């Protein structure tokens, strides 16, 4: 299988992401399906973008960090490579982009943990059955993301 050099994959990802975001506003069901698609597609992009960080071309490394930052918490597996680039890259712009990516990914991971902490009491019983199951579904989804 030929390895994509980046531009086509990146363009396809961003195009699909935009389409799904637009479609996702129609209903709760479509929105959930759209979110699942974006998460699945995004998580497949992470290894590709981590490869960008290894490029000999500074602009490509910088772009890899930018793209990982856009993925946010989905790019949790890229934190170690990003931290390494943020510390050791020879290019100031690349280091800055990697630092921004690390900060954004960590911010989103922290936010997900806080949201789970808020929803957990709802799921354990202090509300109607319908609210409890909605909260439990949200907690389960958050746990899947944090894994």
Question: For 80-110, what is each residue's pLDDT tens digit?
Answer: 999 999 999 999 999 999 999 999 999 988 8
Domain count, the chain: 1
- Give the C-alpha separation, 13 to 3, whole Å: 16
Q: Is residue 141 part of a domain?
A: no
Q: Is residue 144 part of a domain?
A: no
Q: Is residue 130 part of a domain?
A: no
User: Which region, left, alpha or beta, applies to residue 27 given φ > 0 means left and ψ of -120 to 50 means alpha?
Assistant: beta
Q: Is residue 79 part of a domain?
A: yes
pLDDT at 26: 45
Q: Sign of dihedral through CA atoms 120, 143, 102, 13?
A: negative
pLDDT at 125: 54
pLDDT at 4: 43
Helix, coil or strand: residue 21: helix
pLDDT at 19: 57
- Give the C-alpha separation, 70 to 87, whole Å: 20
Local confidence band at 45 (pLDDT 50, 70, 90 cut-offs): confident
Average pLDDT value over all residues in the chain? 75
- Name 119's Cβ contacts closer than 8 Å, sequence gap at least 6: 135, 138, 139, 142
Q: Is residue 123 part of a domain?
A: no
Length of the chain: 147
Full domain range(s) for residue 89: 7-108
Q: Is residue 116 part of a domain?
A: no
pLDDT digits (tens, 9 = 90+) for 30-44: 456 666 666 677 788
């Amino acid at each position: 299988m030929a390895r994509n050099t980046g531009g086509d994959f990146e363009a396809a990802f961003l195009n699909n992401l935009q389409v799904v975001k637009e479609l996702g506003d129609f209903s709760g069901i479509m929105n959930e399906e759209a979110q699942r698609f974006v998460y699945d597609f995004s998580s497949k992009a992470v290894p590709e973008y981590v490869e960008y960080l290894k490029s000999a071309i500074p602009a490509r490394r910088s772009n890899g960090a930018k793209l990982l930052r856009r993925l946010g918490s989905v790019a949790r597996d890229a934190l170690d490579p990003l931290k390494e680039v943020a510390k050791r890259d020879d290019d100031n712009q690349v280091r800055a982009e990697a630092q921004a990516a690390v900060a954004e990914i960590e911010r989103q991971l922290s936010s997900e943990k806080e949201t789970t902490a808020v929803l957990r009491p709802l799921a354990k019983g202090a509300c109607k059955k319908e609210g409890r199951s909605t909260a439990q579904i949200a907690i389960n989804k958050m746990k899947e993301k944090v894994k």
